[in-house]
Amino acid sequence: MATALVPDDVRPGESGVELASVAPDGSFDVAPESVGFYVPPYMGPRATFENIASLPELQVVQLLTAGYESALPFLPPGVVLCNAAGVHDASTAELTVGLILASLRGIDDFARAMPQGQWISSRRQALADSRIVVVGAGGIGQAIARRLEPFEVEITMVGRSARDGVMAIADLPNLLPSADIVVLAVPLDESTRGLVDDAFLSAMSEGALLVNVSRGPVADTSALLMHASRGRIRVALDVTDPEPLPADHPLWTTPGVLISPHVGGNSSAFLPRARVLVAEQLARWASGEPLKNVITH
């Protein structure tokens, strides 16, 4: 059996597979031709994906992210790509609720007022009674919906195609005008790149909130800036385009915009779930069983 190259922080205790360590910067100390299974470090630099081309006997790349677009350009024919579906659902859903509440209730304004001792009491919009459209009906989208349901809201799920309990993405022009909150939880591919453009934002109602916890390029940054700077909509972003967002980018100082630095999945809930997934995938690989979360591309 070939070696599995795995970051130490997700290294399983027992796997039945010979393991070697890969450092956060992508470096490793094992013969490249011995590696058959590779887990790139979480949110690592480009080098962690460039490694893929240097592993001639590689069979499987197991990502620690739900998104997989960064790995695709480096993936040779015949190498199986698996994402970390399910690993980040709880963390990302929690942050989504936090961003919504912080934006609606002005928690970011209160935090900025604290050093000056300012008491900026005012009536803010509640999450209760809101009409929410969640764009993306996969694991993360469903986890978001479950956490929002107790807040006495009306939720509409939107997926690529219509099915029981889910409307089609083609229905968005009819859904956006009545939505108070729109949450983006879709993977980034050619069908979702630039999904949120001027037309999308123009269809949203005055004062509505857009929350992006998917990938930055799902939303056109210029369009976001234009609508947010006019005060038409509010925006809460865990992801941006570009990323990291430069310190002098106007998004940082646009009123009604709340930004977190791509930390949706990076919580204490991440590592335990990642270790379970890696252990299961290694066991499946060793026994020849079908792998989970295989990406068709």
For residue 23, give the CATH number of its domain: 3.40.50.720
CA distance 87 to 43: 14
Is residue 295 over pLDDT 90? yes
Same domain, 215 and 274: no
Strand (E) or helix (H) holding 274: helix 270-287
Same domain, 120 and 242: yes
Same domain, 14 and 45: yes
Same domain, 18 and 129: no
Same domain, 166 and 187: yes
Tens digit of each residue's pLDDT (9 = 90 or more) over 254-289: 999 999 999 999 999 999 999 999 999 999 999 999
Same domain, 112 and 201: yes
- Structural domains counted in the chain: 2
Q: Is residue 234 part of a domain?
A: yes
Q: Is residue 296 part of a domain?
A: no
Residue 262 annotated as catalytic: yes
Tens digit of each residue's pLDDT (9 = 90 or more) over 69-115: 989 999 999 999 999 999 999 999 999 999 999 999 999 999 999 99
Q: Is residue 187 part of a domain?
A: yes
- Domain, as residue range, for 215: 89-259
Which residue is catalytic, options 88, 249, 262, 297? 262
Is residue 205 over pLDDT 90? yes
Q: Are 75 and 41 in contact (CB under 8 A)?
A: no
Q: At 1, is the pLDDT very low, low, confident or very high (cuts 50, 70, 90)?
A: low
Using alpha carbons, select from 182, 184, 185, 158 the residue that is nearest to residue 169. Answer: 158
